[in-house]
Structure formats: C-alpha cells, structure tokens
Amino acid sequence: MQIASAASAFPKNYYPQKFLLEQLQQYWGEKLKNPQMLARLHRNVSVEGRHLALPYEQYYNLHTWGDANDVWIQVARELGEQALCRALHHAGLEPKDLGALFFVSVTGISSPSIDALLVNRMGLSPNIKRLPIFGLGCVAGAAGIARAADYVRAYPSQAAALVSVELCSLTI
C-alpha cells in the first residue's frame, strides 16, 4: 500500500496579508474591540497572503450561514475536482479507476455531499464507494486517510482517494 499521488488546488482570489488586515479592520469597524491585537496577530503569523473563496468585496454580500455555505458548495466542488484530477493524473489513473472516494471538510456541508456531486461531474464509476466525513474538526484529514488506508487494505487491487476542502475565509 502506498500513497501514489497528492495534489492541491487553491481559489484564484489571492490577497496580500496587509491588504486583508485593512479589509478586516474596515469590515468589523467599531465592533473590533482591540485593532492592535488583530494587527499584531496578522504580523506574527508570517503569512504573506491568502487565497479567498471569493473576491474580497463579495464577502459583504454574505449575510447568513446559508449564504456562505452556498458559496462553499460551489467552490468546494470546483476545487475538489481540480485537486482530484491533478492527483489522478500524477498517479496515472483515470477517474473511472477509483474504487472509493472519501471526502472531509469542517468549513461547510452539502447534501448531496461534494463527493456525490463529483461522481457525475468527473465521470467516476457509478459503483464507487463514497464516504463523506463531517464534524470531526481538525482530525478529519487523519480520519479520512485512515479510512482510505482501511479500504485499500481490504481491496488491494483498487485505488481510493481522499479529498479535503477547507474554505476558512467563508467562516467569517
């Protein structure tokens, strides 16, 4: 058993950390009790910039959790497909070669789940085994890898994939 490939995909909306700090200070305005603490945090994380699920100005249109989750579903489906396609390509596999698809996330939820949406979108086998994993927090990735490893131990002639999509910017 081995990990044949790994790949990633990022949203196209990239912003420098300094710009994001300015936007957050404006977004929270007077509600921000200690702007110096936020500035210190942004300085000390040593991150040059971040990829956001949406262009920054569109975040002002997210008024409810449902609004943010609708965006999460759209972007998670796109990024999940990109990452899975890249990983399959690097492993020399076709989408129909997958026997199982595991999906994890803690920043959104979907029914049908993202893995189910990817079956038709990517031409995965209609007999693929799927397992969406939600609600495990930061341990979800480890749990997903463990379940994928269990699967390929039980079915050594098959391939399994784990897709994880986290869109933390939508949890604002």
- Rounded distance, CA 90 to CA 87, Å? 5
Between the CA of residue 113 and those of 105, 119, 134, 150, 169, what are the distances in Å? 10, 10, 10, 21, 20
- Rounded distance, CA 27 to CA 120, Å? 39
- Has 168 been annotated as catalytic? no
Of residues 172, 167, 52, the one with CA closest to residue 106? 167
Catalytic residue chosen out of the listed positions 33, 46, 64, 138: 138
| Residues designated catalytic | 138
